[in-house]
Each structure stands twice: as C-alpha cells, then as structure tokens.
Amino acid sequence: MSVVSLNENEVTSHSTLRQQRLDVQLKQLEFHALLHRKLELERLFECLLTEGQAFVQFDGIQFLADNRGTDIMLGFARTHRQCFELRLGDRMLGEIILMRASKFTSRDEREAERLVESLIYPLDNALEHHSVLMKATTDKATGLRNQRALDEQLPREIRLVRRVEQPLSMILLSVNHLDAISQVHGDKVGEQAWQSVARTLTARLRQSDLIFRTADDQFCMVLNQTELHGATILATRLLSDVDRCVSYDNVQCVLTASVGLTELVDADDAATLLARAHDALASARKAGSNKVMVLVPEEVSESDDPSAA
C-alpha cells in the first residue's frame, strides 16, 4: 500500500513515512537531551534559539522571569509573536515569547507550543541552578554582586563590548571610614550604612551597568558603552551622592570617598583592567578625600569636578 500526494503527484511509501517519523522523533529526543544539559539560563535559551530552528523558524526569544531567574532577550525583536506561560504544577516558571518577521501559521503555532513545552523541566532545573548561583555570588550585606561574580562576569562583559566594538569604563569607589559606623553605632546600623551606599550608587547607574562589592570592600562599577569622559562625570556625581546618603537618629553622617577610573584598551584583559583601576584608586586616596583619579596607559589625570574632565 502507498500514499499519493495530490500536490506533488508523487507516491510515498509507508516505509518512507515511517522513517521520516523516526527521524523527527530522534531529532526531538536529541534536542530534549541537549536542553537538559544546559544549566545556565542564558545558555539554555541560546540553545533554544539555535537548535529550535529545526522545528519552527523564529528570529528572537524573550524570557520574562517570575519570582526566580532573570529576564533574557536573545536574537531580534519582531512584530509577530507567540507568547507562552510556563508552569510546573502550581509553580510559575515565567513567560516565553517567540518572535519573527512573518506571521505564524496554525502549524507553526502548534510546533512552537511543542517546542516551548520541551523547555519546562530543563528551565526548572536552570532556575534552581540560578538561585543557588545567585546566593553564592551575592554580597549578603548590600545585596550587590560579590567578588566571585565580578571575576566571572567581567571577562564576559569585555568579550561582549569587543564584539560590538563599543567602549567600556570601570569605576572603583571606596568609601572612607564606613566601617567606623559599625564600631560606633553597632553592626546593625553599620550594615544599614552599607546598604544605603549601595542603593545610592545603584540609583545612578543604567540597567545595563554592573555593580559589585569587592573582597576589599570597594564598589566596582562596569559601565558598558561608556567612554572616560562620561564615566568621569558620573564618578563625580557619585561622590556627591555618597556624601550624605547615610543617616542615624535623624543625623546625617558626612562621608568621603575616593574613586579610581579607567577605560578598556585593546591590550587589556580582565586582570589588567582591574589592576589599573586599583592603581587609580590608590592614587586618588593619596591625593586626598573626594578625589577622582583617571588612569589610562601612559596617562594619568586628576579631576575634582566634571567640567575639568
């Protein structure tokens, strides 16, 4: 027995159809196995974007996290979209949006739904991994990323800006005598002071910027697509913001800080960029309170206000 295709006027044997189904099933099994091996959220969605094209074509994918994970956008934003809420039992995992330039057909919609359904268990595993990782890379006192996170993320940020040929600047800020608040008023007030400084610095940054509390109790800010001039203006504003951001019993604490500032150059890696920022900070401390020291290879400049930068 055979099947006749009226559209192509060809005869397809049952054995050929059976082999085609087996090929599809094998491809699906391989895809599911590949997803289960991806524990990092971004890697998981990168896999979905690239390998998912074998089942349905789309140009971009967006993940909107619920109470776990982080929002992710990969590929290109397009007009036509398929939106899916992913749940595992009573738990909401998040929302996934597939995007493309052309309209999704009914068949495409079914294939997209199957594709996203295959993500449920791998996504749950990746979200759990992300939660554990966030605990290990988060500073308990301030809620900022810690030194481990800086060591892991800085090389990635450098690769990213080089890929798109954009500048990157680094600010290293140290608040002078902040630990003294704990010694005078107790650990609880001291921790609140660290939190106040962290909130104040974060409020000045863009969503694309990164901020860390380092092992040396300094605040390291990685500024994407920012040249030295703009970073110097920001650093001066940060000094002004930190000045009176901490209060106790309705009395403001006058704080001073020092800032080291540098910019990524072609010869840099993460280690050399950080080392130069530390050198700039050391120079700022020697220069006195509330100083911004800008250090680039073979050039050192000091600025007390943005108009002089």
More confident residue, 6 or 104: 104
Locate 226 and state its tokens. 């920012």
Residue-level pLDDT at 190: 72
Residue 245 has pLDDT above 70, yes or no: yes
pLDDT reported for residue 309 = 43
183: pLDDT strictly greater than 80: no
Domains belonging to the chain, first-starting first, are: 2-135 (3.30.450.40), 141-308 (3.30.70.270)
Residue 133 banded pLDDT, cuts 50, 70, 90:
confident
Looking at residue 4, its pLDDT comes to 46
DSSP string, 90-143: TEEEEEEEEEESSPPPHHHHHHHHHHHHTTHHHHHHHHHHHHHHHHHTB-TTT-
Cα–Cα nearest to 174, from 94, 251, 283: 283
Contact 281, 218 (CB under 8 A): yes
Average pLDDT of the residues in 269-289: 94
The per-residue pLDDT for range 13-29, each reduced to its tens digit, is 667 666 666 665 677 77
Instruction: Tell me the CA distances in angstroms from 197 to 54, 75, 90, 219, one per residue in order.
Output: 49, 36, 38, 9
Distance CA(60)–CA(99), nearest Å, equals 5
Nearest to 58 by CA among 69, 50, 67: 50
- The whole-number pLDDT of residue 99 equals 96
Give the predicted TM-score (pTM) of the model: 0.64
Summarize the confidence of residues 205-223 as an average pLDDT. Answer: 94
Q: How high does pLDDT run on average in the chain?
A: 85
Q: Give the pLDDT confidence score for residue 45 in this predicted structure.
A: 92
Share of the chain above pLDDT 70, in %: 85
- What average pLDDT does range 115-124 have in this prediction? 93
- How far apart (Å, rounded) are the C-alpha atoms in residues 18 and 96? 33
Average pLDDT over residues 48-72: 90
For the segment 201-229, the average pLDDT, to the nearest whole number, is 93
Are 229 and 144 a contacting pair, CB within 8 Å?
no
- Has residue 299 got a pLDDT over 50? no
Percent of the chain with pLDDT over 90: 54
